Amino acid sequence: MIKMLNVYTQELDDPEKAVREILQPLDIKNSLLKNSAALLFCHVKFIETGVAQAVYKNLPFDVVGCTSLFFGTPMTAGAPVIDSESDVILTVTILTSDDIEFTMGISGSLNEENVDEGIQELYRRTAFSPGAGPPAGPPALVFTFLPTITSVSGDVMAAALDRACAGIPIFGSLALDMNTRILNPKIIFKAGCQAAGQASGECGTFSDRIALLLFRGPVKPRFFHSSFPDKSIMSWDAVITGAVGNRIISINNKPSLSFLKDMGFFQDGMHEGILVYPLVVEYPNNETEVVIVQDISPEGQLICGRTVKAGGILNMVAVTADTVLESVKIMSRDLKKNGNGTGFIMFSNFLRNIVLGGNSQIEYESVCEEMDGCPGSWLFLNSGGELCPGYTEKGELVNRFHQYAVIACQF
């Protein structure tokens, strides 16, 4: 069994006060079980002011996490809820257990040339480090936090990790720091370091590394994901005729930017529209993928959040606030119906936030309404890209990389 403890601070300027606000409610001597690890998520401002560093260095266990945009108030059964809609918050979620062990690792610097080798090496080092192998056995669950690297799309990193893990369930998020563009997303990591900043291991924030948290023992997670109803998909009568990696070069044999202009974008403030609404690509083998456009290159190419291939039929999704809320309510009901876990962590893609007018509080409140009366602890966060297994018709788990989705892992 895993016990979840949630604490938070909104103190942005005073590191010592922030540390007190995190440590005092934890009651570490009496609340923790045999094995513990911490997840830390924060707005990037906490890294800039040094508050995040002060917090993770003073936690007496290993820490992993990433920057995010919006945080629903971390929920613990019986705990008060702060009356605030601020997204400037730092949360610490403690995972503690008597029968489940936690191991952490972080990769070296990654780029398009070394991503597969780097992730393979990271998993081997983390999964089979001294004390991590038999008799404890292989991991049963992997939490991962991926960097947002324009030249290495999230699905490439996720696929490399899936190969390294040989299909072990993977759940996690891409680091996020958004206004209308990616700014400075960070991975947060501390392992093998003592409290109070006496570092003897790996400790810091990183823009180009993957971090892992491995679970060993009788953990039995359940996974949930939802995106948008099929009725939201609008046909464009368009085919990707040129693509390399995560770049769409041409559509219907026209340069990508020219095609978009013909569709009415880049007129009357519609420049951002193509960056807000997802694309759906249907390939001849019946494979369908949701694709987010991250940016448009100086050459007029669409830079996407995942790999794209020529030959795919290109459609656009007309997502509204109603469809965003419908999807999260459906998933929340499934979570509550399952009802066997002690807590869950939920990520919602940041573009859903934008469709809601930059107010993820609405989506979070929908989750609160649906989960009312549900015991345990949970956390709601925005994501830059989602990793969550899906279930086959036979009930088998298959690791998947999502975009524009809301996902959850229930313990």
Q: What is the pLDDT of residues 307-325, one digit of tens each?
A: 999 999 999 888 889 989 9
Same domain? For 328 and 303 the reply is: no
Q: What is the pLDDT of residue 151?
A: 85
Residue 72 has pLDDT above 90, yes or no: no
Q: What is the pLDDT of residues 29-67, one digit of tens each?
A: 788 999 999 999 998 899 999 999 999 999 999 999 999
pLDDT at 297 over 80: yes
Give the pLDDT mean for 264-276: 65
Q: Do 289 and 255 fall into the same domain?
A: yes
- The yes-or-no verdict on residue 268 having pLDDT over 90 is no
- Over residues 104-144, the pLDDT tens digits come to 999 999 999 999 999 999 999 999 865 554 445 789 999 99
pLDDT in tens, 349-383: 988 888 887 777 889 889 988 988 777 788 999 99
The yes-or-no verdict on residue 408 having pLDDT over 90 is: yes
Lowest mean pLDDT among 54-68, 160-174, 211-225, 269-283: 269-283
Hey, which bits of 55-99 come out as E strands? 63-67, 71-76, 90-97
- pLDDT surpasses 60 at 99: yes
Question: Which helix (H) or strand (E) covers residue 258, if one does?
Answer: helix 256-262
Q: Can you give the pTM of this predicted structure? A: 0.91
Same domain, 151 and 244: no
Of 71-85, 106-120, 134-148, 270-284, the poorest mean pLDDT is in: 71-85
What is the three-class DSSP state of 42?
strand
Model confidence at 388: pLDDT above 90:
yes
210's tokens: 């993957």
What is the domain extent for residue 80?
A: 3-226+324-410
Residues 203, 94 share a domain: yes
Rg of the chain on CA atoms, in Å:
21
- Is residue 234 very low, low, confident or very high in pLDDT (cuts 50, 70, 90)? confident
16 and 118 in one domain?
yes
Checking DSSP bridges between strand 313-317 and strand 233-244, what pairing results, if any? antiparallel
Average pLDDT in the 269-285 region?
A: 77
Question: Which percentage of the chain shows pLDDT scores above 70?
Answer: 87
Mean pLDDT confidence for 165-180: 85
Confidence at 340, pLDDT banded by 50, 70, 90: low
Whether residue 256 sits in one domain with residue 185: no
∠134-135-138 over CA atoms, to 5°?
50
Residue 181, pLDDT > 70, answer no
Instruction: Write out 322-368 in H/E/C secondary structure.
Output: HHHHHHHHHHHHHHHHHCCCCEEEEEEEHHHHHHCCCCCHHHHHHHH
Q: Does the pLDDT of residue 82 top 60, yes or no? A: no
- Tell whether 81 and 40 lie within a shared domain: yes
Q: How far apart are CA 161 and CA 123, in angstroms?
A: 8
pLDDT at 83 over 80: no
**How high is the pLDDT of residue 377?**
86
Residue 123: count other Cβ atoms within 10 Å of its Cβ.
25
For residues 338 and 274, membership in a common domain is answered with no
Average pLDDT over residues 245-252: 96
Q: Which of 19-33, 79-93, 131-145, 293-307 has the lowest mean pLDDT?
A: 79-93
Judgement on whether residues 211 and 267 belong to the same structural domain of the protein:
no
Whether residue 7 is found in the same domain as residue 147: yes
Confidence of residue 241 (pLDDT cuts 50, 70, 90): very high
Question: Quick one: 64 and 104 in the same domain?
Answer: yes
Q: Scanning the structure block, which residue is given the tokens 């030249």?
A: 151
**The pLDDT of residue 198 is above 50:** no
- Say yes or no: 220 and 358 in one domain: yes
CB–CB of 288/402 below 8 Å? no
Distance of CA 126 to the CA centre of its chain: 20
Q: Which of 1-15, 73-87, 90-104, 173-187 has the lowest mean pLDDT?
A: 73-87
Q: What's CA 323's distance to the chain center, in Å?
A: 21
Residue 71: beta bridge partners?
381
**Cα separation values, 242 from 256, 274, 307, Å:** 9, 18, 12
As for how many domains the chain has, the answer is 2
